[in-house]
Amino acid sequence: MSGMKEHPIQLGTTQKNKVHNGKSRDRAIRKPKMSKLSLKENIWGYIFIAPWIIGFLGLTLGPLVFSLITSFTDYNVTSQMHFTGFDNYKRMFTIDPLFWTSLYNTVYFVVFSVPLTTAGAVIVAMLLNQKMKGIKIFRTIYYLPAVLSGVAVYFLWMQLLSPSTGLVNTVLAWFGIDGPAWLFEPEWTKPALVMMKMWSVGGGMLLYLAVMQGVPKAMYEAAELDGAGSIRKFFHITLPMITPIIFFDMVTSTIGAFQIFQEAYVMTDSGEGGPSNSLLFYNLHMWNNAFEIFDMGYASAMAWVLFVIVMILTFLHFKLSKKWVYYESGDEK
Amino acid sequence: MSNSVIGSKKKWITKKTLIYLILIGGSLVILSPVWWMIATSLKTPQEIAQYPPSFWPDSFKFSNYLEAWQTAPFTRWTLNTLLISGLSTIGSVLANAFIAYGFAVIKFKGKNLLFGIVMATMLIPGFVTLVPQYIIFAKIGWVNTYLPLIVPSFLGSAFFIFLIRQFMRTIPKDMVEAAKMDGANHFQIWWRIILPQIKPALITVAIFSFNGSWNDLLGPLLYLNDENLYTLQIGLQTFKGTVSTQWNYLMAMSTTVLLPIILLFFYFQRYFIEGSNLTGGQKF
């Protein structure tokens, strides 16, 4: 009995979106009943997303506005806040030499680490996208470093990079290369961190692998019939198919790389910046201003400059993406 | 005809061998640092200092682990870390699944706009809000407590909301509608019908949250001053100040701190990999 009752209702609901627009117009005519229902739905909706709204207002939007205001003051937690206009920004751009050092170090790191890790992840994914025995074991091994992070890993790398007895220079010596002092030589500190980042390309690799496995086999077979070799197949089929992920990866890893902090903090003995300040990254400088000398106003101004830089870069990424990212069904209608 | 088939088969075999060789070489590069850490943790200070360094420890000094563990309150720090990571993992799973249900199932005004904002927050560098967040938590007296490290997990995070929402959208709408007809409200539908069906996604979120919380240095560094409240990450960082260049001890404790994560990884491999696939399969 009840099954029969439900039947017509279920039919109505299984007919998807296409019919739906027309239906909701019908609903609008029968006003009182439906609006009561939709009011209830609205309330439920907001109940469910309430935690996010609280978090967004309290931990994101509020702090953003607050730090914008603070950036125009000399706020230092303990004494009264004074409005100082653009002083913090002026100091940043014209007086504080460490601001430019930290920006340079950060841009250096972004410029090398982002393309190298992206390319590395694509290459590793390509190698692992084979039907071969034991490939799953390799996938597991390559992914492992992506889950290892934190202080222990930074200590490990300090040990690996140790000038005379570290693993890296020991291996280099086998090939007759006299390795640098890495974390003790200003020119080699940042390459050392890029190298450390490269160790965990496995995280990005999985994204690419997932998409590569979704490429229809028929496309490759058709290309083979046309006599295409592996290289041509990669550049004409695989690469276009993964461009949306490359784009996503580049956007998020650029934002991530701009925020490099923990590595440098731990590997330079609590944020001192390393030899010749070569590891004084932007966020480390901001941190020192905020939590070492409690110049919250200046730190907030730095935070906003970072925010603007990252927003501009993300905007450019999106703008440029139209030129190279391939969307299967994304042609202009 | 047959000649060319044999030729291409030969070519395939050499290609396969080449790929194997490259993969094995890469695996060595990836695993050798991990081995180096374990080997160093078992050496004597004399052996660590000797040149050229040895790949296989002479003596396997397991006592390094016990000695290092007793040099600092590691037991305490481990329990603290378990408490924080455990609570924030629970918070993260519940909150993100709750919020994601709102965005995936319920129709309400402003939903698309708000979801757009959720996605946009992923593009905001976390450091931008760090200073004001600290000031807020300081003002309400939460500094030197675990609250700033746990409570935010109960308010959801954009990436996990997105991940769970994707998963929820694969559940047929009829099930929700049928439950509604039976008089269930959204809370009951969420708890009884949806959650049991998205277990893989929930486990994925749990693992990523736990991993993130376990490895977090920034939060504890910012909010915890009392050594008794320290987590393993910040504890390990101060431990280096105590033992300075005694790398056997440092590597022993580094191995110990990483061990739970490595075990978790091998046990839940599938979910680590599935979680990435979930997002990777999406087109941006």
Residue carrying the six token digits 């954009």: B158
Residue in A144, A211, A311 closest to B30 by CB = A144
Count of domains forming chain B:
2
* Contact indicator for A207, A245 with CB cutoff of 8 Å: yes
Partner residue facing B30 (CB), from A141, A247, A266: A141
For A190, half-sphere exposure in the C-beta direction (CA atoms, 13 angstrom radius) is 22
> Which of B109, B131, B178 lies at the smallest CB-CB distance from A300?
B131
Task: Output the CA–CA distances (angstroms, integers) from residue A167 to A3, A263, B56, B71, in the order listed.
Answer: 70, 19, 13, 27
Cis peptide before A51 (omega within 30 of 0): no
The verdict on A172 touching B (C-beta cutoff 8 Å) is no
Closest CA to A86 of A285, A286, A289, A298: A298
The count of other CB atoms within 10 Å of the CB of residue A244 is 19
pLDDT digit of tens for each residue in chain B (284 aa)?
A: 455 666 677 777 888 899 999 999 999 999 999 999 999 999 999 898 888 888 899 888 999 999 999 999 999 999 999 999 999 999 999 999 999 999 999 999 999 999 999 999 999 999 999 999 999 999 999 999 999 999 999 999 999 999 999 889 888 888 889 999 999 999 999 999 999 999 988 998 999 999 999 999 999 999 999 999 999 999 999 998 888 778 999 999 999 999 999 999 999 887 776 655 554 444 33
Determine, yes or no, domain membership for B58.
no
Q: What is the pLDDT of residues A68-108, one digit of tens each?
A: 999 999 998 787 888 999 999 999 999 999 999 999 999 99
What pLDDT shows up at residue B274?
62
Residue A331 has pLDDT above 50, yes or no: no
Within 10 angstroms of residue A187's Cβ, the number of other Cβ atoms is 10
Long-range contacts of B117-123 (CB under 8 A, 24+ apart): B117/A56, B118/A52, B118/B158, B118/B161, B118/B162, B119/B158, B119/B162, B121/A56, B121/A60, B121/B158, B122/A252, B122/B158, B122/B159, B122/B162, B123/A251, B123/A255, B123/A310, B123/A311, B123/A314
Q: Taking a C-beta distance cutoff of 8 angstroms, is the pair B213, B82 a contact?
A: no
Question: Taking a contact as any Cβ pair under 8 Å apart, which residues of chain A between 19 and 38 contact chain B?
Answer: 38
Average pLDDT over chain A, rounded to whole? Answer: 86
- Distance CA(A5)–CA(B45), nearest Å, equals 80
b/e A278-317 (16+ beta carbons within 10 angstroms → b): bbbbbbbbbbbbbbeeebbbbbbbbbbbbbebbeebbeeb
- Residue B136 class from Cβ within 10 Å (0-12 exposed, 13-18 middle, 19+ buried)? middle
Closest C-alpha to A87, from A322, A301, A311: A301
* Residues in chain B within 8 Å Cβ distance of A306: 125, 127-128
Same domain? B178 vs B75: yes
Among the listed residues B88, B225, B59, the one whose alpha carbon sits nearest the alpha carbon of residue B157:
B88
Pull the structure tokens for residue A31: 């006003």
The dotted CATH code for A87-324 is: 1.10.3720.10
Q: How buried is residue A97: exposed, middle or buried, by Cβ count under 10 Å (0-12/13-18/19+)?
A: exposed
Inter-chain touch B31–A141, beta carbons under 8 Å: yes
* Alpha-carbon gap, residue A239 to A246, rounded angstroms: 9
**Which residue bears the tokens 């004074």?**
A82
The two three-digit tokens of residue A92, written as one number: 């940043």
Q: Identify the CA nearest to B218 among candidates A266, A54, A43.
A: A266
Tell which B residues from 152 to 171 touch A, by Cβ distance under 8 Å: 152, 154-156, 161
Residues B177, A13 contacting (CB under 8 angstroms): yes
3-state secondary structure of A165: coil
* Sign of the torsion angle spanned by Cα atoms A124, A130, A134, A139: positive
Are B112 and B195 in contact by the 8 Å Cβ rule? The answer is: no
Residue of A nearest to B130 (CA): A63
How crowded is the C-beta side of A135, counted as CA atoms within 13 Å?
A: 14
What would the two tokens of residue A110 be? 């972004």
Report the pLDDT value the prediction gives residue B129, as an integer from 0 to 100. 93
Specify the residue for token string 């690469």.
A239
Kindly state whether residue B28 falls inside one of the protein's structural domains: yes
**B33 and chain A: CB distance < 8 Å anywhere?**
yes
Q: Are A141 and A228 in contact (CB under 8 A)?
A: no
Q: Of A51, A311, A327, which is closest to B99 when you measure between CB atoms?
A: A51
B221 Cβ contact partners less than 8 Å away, ≥ 6 residues apart: A265, B234, B237
CA B6/CA B9 separation, integer angstroms: 5
Alpha-helical regions (H) of chain B: 2-41, 45-49, 63-71, 74-104, 111-121, 130-139, 147-150, 158-168, 173-181, 186-188, 195-197, 199-215, 218-223, 232-243, 247-280
Check whether residue B134 and residue B31 sit in a common domain: no
Q: At what angle do helices B199-215 and B74-104 cross, to 10 degrees?
A: 140
Bridge partners (DSSP) of residue B180 are: none
A276: left (phi over 0), alpha (psi -120 to 50) or beta: left
What interface predicted TM-score (ipTM) does this complex get?
A: 0.90
- Residues in A closer than 8 angstroms to B258, CB to CB, are 148, 150, 152-153
Return the H-helix or E-strand segment holding A60. Answer: none
Q: Say yes or no: B136 and B75 in one domain.
A: yes
Q: Which residues of A touch B51 (CB under 8 A)?
A: 164-165
Token pair 């050594």 is found at B227
Smallest CA–CA distance, residue A50 to chain B, in Å, is: 8
Q: How many CA atoms lie within 13 A of B242 on its CB side?
A: 17
Percent of chain A scored above 90 by pLDDT? 60
Residues 222-281 of B with CB under 8 A from A: 222, 233-234, 236-237, 240, 247, 250-251, 253-255, 257-258, 261-262, 264-266, 269, 272-273, 276-277, 279-281
Interchain contact A170–B (C-beta under 8 A)? yes
Give the chain A residue nearest B223 (alpha carbons). A291
Candidates B26, B109, B240; nearest CB to A155: B240
Residue A304 has pLDDT above 80, yes or no: yes
Closest CA to A288 of A299, A279, A278, A297: A299
Instruction: Tell me whether residues A9 and B211 touch, CB distance under 8 A.
Output: no
- For chain A, give every domain's residue range: 2-70, 87-324
| Residues B13 and B150 placed together within one structural domain of the fold | no
Give me the mean pLDDT over the A108-117 stretch.
96
Query: Does the beta carbon of A66 lie under 8 angstroms from any beta carbon of chain B?
Result: yes
**What is the model's pLDDT at position B5?**
63
How close, in Å, is residue B33 to chain A by CA atoms? 7
**B280 and A210: CB-CB below 8 Å?**
yes
At A210, the pLDDT band (50, 70, 90 cuts) reads confident
Kindly indicate the confidence band of residue A10, based on its pLDDT and cuts at 50, 70 and 90: very low
Q: Once rounded to an integer, what is the mean pLDDT over residues A142-148?
A: 92
Q: Do A206 and B276 touch (CB under 8 A)?
A: yes
* Whether residue B160 is found in the same domain as residue B201: yes
Cα–Cα distance between B28 and A279 in angstroms, integer?
29
User: Are the beta carbons of A198 and A205 closer than 8 angstroms?
Assistant: no
The Cβ of residue A225 has, within 10 Å, a number of other Cβ atoms equal to 8
Q: Report the chain B residue with the minimal C-alpha distance to residue A202.
A: B30
Higher pLDDT, A134 or A4: A134
Which among A49, A139, A142 has CB closest to B114? A49
Return the CATH number at B208.
Answer: 1.10.3720.10
Distance CA B230, CA B232 (A): 7
Would you state the structure tokens that stand for residue A199, as one six-digit string? Answer: 């160790």
Task: Examine the pLDDT at A169 and tell me if it is beyond 90.
Answer: yes
Does residue A13 surpass a pLDDT of 70?
Answer: no
**Residue of chain B whose Cα is closest to the Cα of A296:** B131
How confident is the model over A286-315, as a mean pLDDT? 94
CA A161 to each of CA A93, A182, A270: distance values in angstroms, whole numbers, following the listed order: 35, 6, 18
Q: For residue B117, is it within any domain?
A: yes
DSSP 8-state symbol, A236 = I
**Range(s) of the domain holding residue B219:** 63-280
Residue B91 with chain A: CB contacts under 8 Å: none
Render pLDDT for A119-131 as a digit per residue (tens, 0 to 9): 999 999 999 988 8
Q: Which of residues 207-226 of A touch B (CB under 8 A)?
A: 207-211, 214
Torsion of CA B196, B198, B204, B209, to 10 degrees: -70
End-to-end alpha-carbon separation of chain B, Å? 45
Q: Are residues B107 and B202 in the same domain?
A: yes
